[in-house]
Structure formats: C-alpha cells, structure tokens
Structure 1
Amino acid sequence: MTPRTVVRTPRHSVSERPFIVIWEATRACPLACLHCRAEAQTARHPAELDGADARRVMDQIAAFGRPGPLFVITGGDPFQRTDLTDLITYGTSRGLRVAVSPSGTPTLTRDRLLAVREAGAVALSLSLDGSTAARHDAFRGVPGVYDWTLDGWRTARALGLKVQINTTVTRNSLEDLADIAALVRREGAMLWSGFVLVPTGRGEQLDSLTPAEIEDVLHFLYDCGSVMATKTTEGHHFRRVALQRTVLDARGERPRLGPLYGRLSARAAELGLFDGEHRPVRRPPMDVSSGRGFVFISHTGEVQPSGFLPLSAGNVKTRPLTGIYRESDLFTKVRDPSLLRGKCGACEFKTVCGGSRSRAYGFTGDVLEADPYCAYEPGSFPYETALTKSTSR
C-alpha cells in the first residue's frame, strides 16, 4: 500500500471547498442523550432556518462546484421537521449527495425511511452506544431506543440505503466496544465510526478518558478495519495510527499498547470478531478536519468549523457560505498547521493529523492548543524516514 492510499485526501483543495457539510436542521429531539452536543430540546427553536433559508443554504453549497460536498442533515432529530423530504429532494436536484442522521425514535418507520430514499437520500447515519438495550438506552436517556435503532437500521438496509453506525467512546462504553463491533459486523453497515468525545454541551458532564485509553481504542478500531470499514469522528490521530501501523506491519512488528487494548482484543477473540473473511483492501481514513474539508451550519445558520467547536465565523443569512469557508479568519486559522501549539505544533504528523481543534478548545479555550487526548510524543516513532512522504503535502 502506498502512502497516498494509507490516508486519502479529497480530490479538490480543502481550502477552496469542503468535502462534507453538516446542517443541524433542528435541535428538537425526544431523547436525552448524556453526551448531546446540541443539548436538544423537545420543541423546535423559533429561530431555526425555515424551508426558504434551507434552500438558500443548499444553493450556497452547490456554488462550491461539482462534484458537490456530501450534505448531511442532522439534528436534534431531523424527522421533527415536516419538510425533511422536500429538502432532500431539493438538495438532490442541486447536485448534492444527501445523507440523513436521525435519532433512534419511533419516527424510524418504514414509510418515512422509504420517503427519504425516494426523495434522493443516499445514506443514513444512526447511533449505537451499547451492545445491549440496557447499555444503549441508559446512554440515550429513553427506554426502547435500542430496539427502534436496530429496527430502523435493518429497514434502511432492506430499502437499499447505505447505513453508517456511530458509537460514542466514553468511560461507560470502553469495555463494550468489542461487543458493539461484533454487532455492527453481524448486522452490516457501510461504515462504523468511533466518536472520540469532545467536552461540549451535555458531554461536559462526562468523565474524561486518558490519552493512553484513546490510543488503545484507536488501535482497536484499526484492527477492526480488517473486517469492516471503520473511521473516527474527532479522532484525527487515527490517521497517524494508520500510517504507523502500515509501517510496522510491513516490518512484521506490533505496537506497544496498554491494558485496555489487551482486554478489547481478548474479548474480540472470544466473540470471533476477526474470524472469517477479511476485507481485501482496508478503508483508508480521509484527511479531513474541522474547517479543513469540514463545515457545520447550526440550526440558526451560524457557520462553525465543527459542530463540536462552538465558535462562529459568520451566518449564512448575511454572508455566503463559500466566502465564510474560504476567507474567514477562523477557518483559515484552523487550516494552517504551522500555527498549532504545544505537542501538536511540534509533531511530525501535524499536517496529516493536526489533532482535534474542537477538543483543544473544549479543554483549554484555545483552538490552536494541543489535543489533550493524544498520547503520542513527537519524534518517538522509530521509523521516521518511512513516514517522510506519507506526512508531507
């Protein structure tokens, strides 16, 4: 595998156009998830972007050019909007690939999922934070969410929608990750994403993980990539792990990891997670980060580098998204790895990783500080010459 295929880069310059645009269509949601970034409410906010506003947003996204960015409609629960399918239809007509990220509620009916597909949506994103109903429902704050999620997942797949499963990595889910992975592999998904928690919204109340634990999780996710497509959200050092493991694998060596990795690997063996056919080609992680190929639009139109980085660079009601993304001080700053401070600034992987700007801000109040969840010490990888081409761009 060449360095270019270990970590993928978007075909177009990320300073000119995003690879993915996330729109928070509403903050209304009947769940009470412990980590909720949006601190979702039961009722819709009166200042939400209305249908006309949303269409103008999609026009602005289309103005980046073709092929257009992936457009993800999230929330809250986007099914709380009665115009959801109309918006999907419009986005599709503007040449956008549209995906929907609903909550696991009784709204995940076959009729609604069929309407989403027929409107043009290409994928569905669902959350699974426990391998059992007891674990998942406790995290989501409402009984029955686990069953609704699995029913919606199976129905979506039967209808031909691609399904991505997202799992929040918290203190409560750490020891359950192998079981969740086995469930995802058994049920089938386009992609399994491990969300490395950012302390924002309700997530500020959850216990922090240690950098060593995160390192073990990232390497376990890398192992899972041999049998199913895996990625991370706000775990940008997964790209560093992929590069390091590729070099080590070529030399027949294994990384030195902690006890959590040992327990997850042992449990995976018990479950037979890595038995059977392996993927012929591992899915390379995409080199996209907050403000660098990624943009978030809030329910009121504020434009942020990430939904987990609560700093606005402008509002789509008063300034075109293209200008905000390409020219705003905030976006140009987070795209420049030479400005990074601390370990991130000194790291040889900073151009391909750069750490989580959202987590740096959440812990320190400084968007350019080091990611506190990274265990890697700059310069400590023994085969630096093998990485030279991989980490330069």
Structure 2
Amino acid sequence: MRGVDVEERPLVLIWELTQACGLTCKHCRADARPERHPDELTTAEGKRLLDQAADFGDGQLVVLSGGDPLVRDDVTELVEYGTRQGLGMTLTPSGTESLTPERIEALQDAGLRRMALSLDGGDADSHDAFRGESGSFEATLAAAEAARETDLPLQINTTVCAETVDQLPAIRELVADLGAVMWSVFFLVPVGRGRVLTQISPDRAERVMEWLHEVSESEPFGLKTTEAPHYRRVTIERERDGEAGENDGLQRRTGIRAGQGFAFVSHTGEMYPSGFLPESAGNVRSEGVVDLYRESALFQRLRDDSALEGKCGACPYRGVCGGSRSRAYAATGDPMGSDPLCSFVPDEYDGPLPATHGERVPTD
C-alpha cells in the first residue's frame, strides 16, 4: 500500500474476462456456466481498457479473472499487451486440465507477473467436492508445480466457510510445500452460488483471524485476507505492546476495501466496487475506468468513512478496516451498513447489532 493513494487509484483492478468455466464451484460468485456470454468485452475493447488502466500510474496491478479466463484464446495476447503498457499483469485461472505447462510458460513469456490458483481443501476429496469436478485438485497441484519450474510466482486463494474452515491447517501446509509467495484467504460473501453455503460465525472468524496472524509470523509466504478487512484490527491488537496506544496502530496502517483501493470490471464492462458488490458505477464501454473510479458517486461514497453506519460507523478502526462493504450489501442491501461477520463492538456503541453477531470482543 505504500505510495498508493486509494482516492486516486486502486491497488487492485480486476477484469473478469468471462463468466464461462468448466467447474461448478459451490461458492462461485459468478454462478459460472460452460458457455461464454455473447456481449463480453472484445479483445480490442479489452486493450482499450488496459490503456485506460495504465493512466492510473506506473505499475498498476491488473488481475485477469473469471469464470476461467483461459476459456478465452486471447489471454496471452492481453497479458503481453498490458505488460507493454507498464501494467502488472496477473491471472486467476481455474484448476483444470487446460492449464498446461506449455500454456503457463507462454503466459510467463508474455510478461505474467503472478498466477493465483485456488485450493479449498487439503486433499483431493475435500477440494474436488467443493469445486464440483473430480481431478481439480490434481490439476491444480500440477499447475502449481509447472509454475514453480518456470519461476512464475504463485499465489494460493482459499475460501473460508463452514465447509472449508477445518481444512485451513492442511491447506496451510500445502501453501508452504508448493513454494507459494502469497496465501489469500477469502471469507465468504453470500452471493452467486455462495448463497447456499453457511458462513462461519463472527466469533469463529475472530479465532481464525488470530490463527492467521500466527501463521503470518511463522511462514515465509505472505498472507492477506479478502472481504475480511477486520483482520487488520486483529493484527493491530495482537501486535500492540503494553506501552503502545490504540492510535499507533491506526496511524501505521491504511486498509483497502470495495471501492477504496479495489475495483472490478465485469465481463460485459460494468464497473463495480468489487465482484461481490454488484452495484454498477457505469460501463467502461462508454465511460473511462479512471473517471469512474475517481469521480462516480458510488465509489466516492464508499471511500467516505463518515458515511459508514451502525457499529462500523462508530468503530475506532473504521479507517484501517471499515468492514466488508460487499458483505454488508449482501446482508442488508446497503453497502454502508455493518459487516455482520465482525464480532467487535466499540465500547461506546449501544446501537443495533447484526443478526449474526456473537459475543462482545474485549478491546484489551
């Protein structure tokens, strides 16, 4: 985050190339299906989007996602084009047999900076059951090994819900064994097919985040959470010593969340604060991605901490956390409401709590 002004540019810009995918993952935000949508951004439109993304500034990070982005045959061309524009191009393909060593090598030669693969179980049975495809676990491990052999940095993404949470220790071991540089732990937002899954409780989430902080201190790979910005509050509290005040942690860190350091362009060009917050600020076919991020009323509101409501609005950590705006939207229809996964209650707050709220978390 150092040096990135989230008022001016996102830390992460995701472009959903397609919603087509051969898997039927239980948590799929896109509710993916095998067929491509006829109104997807074309190659030419995608290159124009990448040109605009470069206007954010040097090294803008762009994630090509899906569905399965490898369903499109222009992925390597787009990676090469974006790299020439000075963008940091990364990719999140599905763990299928289409992800061959040859294709991985071609993507790296085109300038791909990092590849992210998903593991949602510590073994084939648990992962394949969650992903809805026999053989996905082995295909993912094979792709991870191919990335390692070509020295392509690897990230592992994991979804946390009631069905996967007990698998986290085993997945942690896999992340280390695969030589991944980053473990991205995503806390379920109930959208798409994920609506039928069970979220863990706020109290369980708190314990998981405390464990993740311990993992971050003992493993060589980096660790970040997605749609769980209150992990930063947990980290601040765990790191605080007896003499440090609460504001020390608040001044040291700046967080990102939907619309604040994060933006998402759908397969048809709609600009969302996040793929998990499907409220459009406009379409990149008719409006520039930079203007939409900086000037749209939706994005500006999401970056206004004073507009947060409920206990998120009263929280002293709102500047470094602010709660998952996507989860608040999924739960209430209001992106500025309280994040129901966070169990922390500010000392001075006595207003309503989300329905799923657990016991008060002590502040010291």
Task: Tell me the TM-score normalised to structure 2 length.
Answer: 0.91
1:222 is aligned to 213
Give the aligned residue type for 1:376.
F
- Please provide the CA RMSD for this pair: 1.4
Tell me the matched-pair count: 341
State the SS of the aligned residue for 1:287: coil
Question: What amino acid sits opposite 2:312 in the alignment?
Answer: C
Cα distance in structure 2, aligned partners of 1:12 and 1:184? 28
**Does the 8 Å CA contact 1:131/1:183 hold for their aligned counterparts?**
yes
> What secondary structure, in the 3-state scheme, does the structure 1 residue paired with 2:170 have?
helix
Deviates more, 1:42-51 or 1:225-234: 225-234
1:266-302 superposed Cα distances (whole Å, 9 cap, x missing partner): xxxxxxxxxxxxxxxxxx9872111111110000000
- Deviations along 1:147-197, one digit per CA (max 9) or x if unpaired, are 000000111111111111011001111111111111211222110111000
| 1:25/1:74 contact within 8 Å kept | yes
For the 8 Å contact 1:20–1:72, the answer to whether it is kept is yes
Describe the SS at the equivalent of 2:7: coil
Corresponding position of 2:9 = 17
1:251 positional shift: 3.9
Matched, 1:328 2:319: no
Match of 2:177 among 179, 186, 190: 186
One-letter code of the match for 1:302? Answer: E
- Where do 1:1-393 residues align within 5 Å? 9-65=1-57, 67-226=58-217, 227=219, 228-247=221-240, 250-251=241-242, 287-379=255-347, 382=363
Q: Distance in 2 between matches of 1:369 and 1:155?
A: 43
- Kept in 2, the 8 Å contact 1:163–1:190? The answer is yes
Consecutive aligned runs of 4 or more in structure 1 exceeding 3 Å deviation? 379-383
The C-alpha deviation readout for 1:11-67, integer Å capped at 9, x for no partner, is 1311111111000001110000000001111011000001000001001101112x2
In the TM superposition, what is the alpha-carbon distance from 1:10 to its structure 2 partner?
A: 3.8
Contact map agreement 1:306 1:358 (CA 8 A) in 2: yes
One-letter code of the match for 1:98? M
Residue pair 1:337, 1:351 contacting (<8 A) in 2 also? yes
SS of alignment partner, residue 93 of structure 2: coil
Q: Does the 8 Å CA contact 2:253/2:320 hold for their aligned counterparts?
A: no
Instruction: Name the CA distance, whole Å, in 2 between partners of 1:235 and 1:176.
Output: 18
Q: Is the CA contact (8 Å cut-off) linking 2:175 and 2:183 kept in structure 1?
A: yes
Give a deviation string over 1:200-220, Cα, whole Å, max 9, x none.
100011112210011111111
Question: Aligned pair in 2 of structure 1 residues 235, 382: CA closer, same or farther (>3 Å)?
Answer: closer
**Partner amino acid, structure 2, of 1:241:** V
Q: Which has the higher contact order (CA 8 A, sep 6+)?
A: 1
* One-letter amino acid of the structure 2 residue matched with residue 205 of structure 1: V
CA separation in 1, counterparts of 2:24 and 2:133? 7
- Counterpart CA distance in 2 for 1:335 and 1:238 is 19
Question: Any gaps of 5 or more consecutive residues in structure 1?
Answer: 1-8, 253-283, 384-393
Query: What secondary structure sits across from 2:46 in the alignment?
Result: helix
Give 3-state SS (helix, strand or coil) of 1:120's partner: coil
CA distance in 2, matches of 1:140, 1:294: 26
CA distance in 2, matches of 1:194, 1:16: 26
TM-score (structure 1 length as normaliser): 0.85
- Paired residue type of 1:351: G
**How far apart are 1:68 and its partner, in Å?**
3.2
Specify whether residues 102 and 322 from structure 1 end up closer, same or farther in structure 2 by C-alpha distance, changes over 3 A only: same
